[in-house]
Structure 1
Amino acid sequence: MTHDQTDYAATLCVKDQARYSEKVALCGVDPFELRESDCVRDVNLWPGWMREPSVKEVSSDSVILKTKVNHSQSLNRQPVDSWALCKCDGKVVAAHCTCMAGNGDACSDVAALLFYVEYGVCVRQERSCTDSANSWLPMHIRKLDVRPNIAEMDFTSSTMKKTTIRCRCQCSS
């Protein structure tokens, strides 16, 4: 084990330690060792099940996304730590999570982190009705559709209509 591995890496089996070391080498830094002051933390970017999300630029084209993910089935359990190394074009280079499935390079917590980021990007790129002037006001109405007289409207229930149709079919045969 090298000096730059965290206490977390010491808890892994030898095979998982080797894989984790490869992931850390791709990042250039162990995401679990990043300090909060090294990362950007904007609460408005990260609503929902994510806790303490942050992003750290590690090179001109790569970032580390790091967060704690709450358990959806058990609110009393401690959240798991998840991170993903991503290129600026959206390609995921490596990801890891401290959950049971995290050593397999893919788990729902990492997927939640990535979905979370995707949703944030989509919302940021969308235009809301208040982004442009008067878009929420209705257009001026020039023509009204003529509705039938109330006496001509059919207020029969669907059950009654079905019964009437069955009766007609049975009576005609």
Structure 2
Amino acid sequence: MPPKKTTHKGFLPGNYASIRSKECRERYEARISLIHSVDPYKIPKNDWEDCMELWPNISNINVGMYLLFSVSSYSQNELMNYKSLLCYQSFANGWVREVLLKEFGDNRLMIAKVNHSQKMSEKPLTPWVICEKEGKILFGRCDCMAGLRESCSHVISVS
């Protein structure tokens, strides 16, 4: 039997292929157009930067503005996601690790491994966030069930 081919795989197999709804696929494509239409889950791990100096200048205000006042793609209302404002607890508890970054002009893509908040023995999640260099959060996604709504606490924990 021939040896397994070791290709440059992305950080995760990705979930774009699993998106069934045409509307959801189009929304995902529109969001990743902010980073030259590159699917974050398909970027080879060795193409990411592990350097805190490159992290965008994200403040609590940026996080609050995103969680509370971004418009939901589903309801067209503001997110008003107060619960995820407590996301700093994930970071303080050591549940966020391996934060990596990739630059796309003035935009930054950050990805990390984040433990589940309710299922500690499960494989870590891999949320990602697109933000401006100055810190404004533009979009986030997670492979958890709530991450499809673009504002789970795992997404914000990366910030």
Give the TM-score, by structure 2 length.
0.60
Matched, 1:13 2:20: yes
- The CA deviation string for residues 117-165 of structure 1, in whole angstroms up to 9 with x for no partner, is xxxxxxxxxxxxxxxxxxxxxxxxxxxxxxxxxxxxxxxxxxxxxxxxx
CA–CA separation in structure 1 for the residues paired with 2:99 and 2:135: 18
Matched, 1:39 2:48: yes
* Displacement of 1:16: 2.2
Identity of aligned pairs, percent? 32
Partners of 1:53 and 1:66 within 8 A in 2: yes
Q: Secondary structure at the match of 1:102?
A: helix
**2:82 aligned residue:** none
Gaps of 5+ in 2: 1-12, 56-90
State the number of aligned residues.
107
Q: Matches of residues 7-156 of structure 1 in structure 2 within 5 Å?
A: 7-14=14-21, 15-28=23-36, 29-42=38-51, 48-59=94-105, 61-114=106-159
Give the TM-score, by structure 1 length.
0.55
Gaps of 5+ in 1: 1-5, 115-173
CA–CA separation in structure 2 for the residues paired with 1:96 and 1:36: 18
CA–CA separation in structure 2 for the residues paired with 1:92 and 1:10: 25
CA–CA separation in structure 1 for the residues paired with 2:149 and 2:119: 22
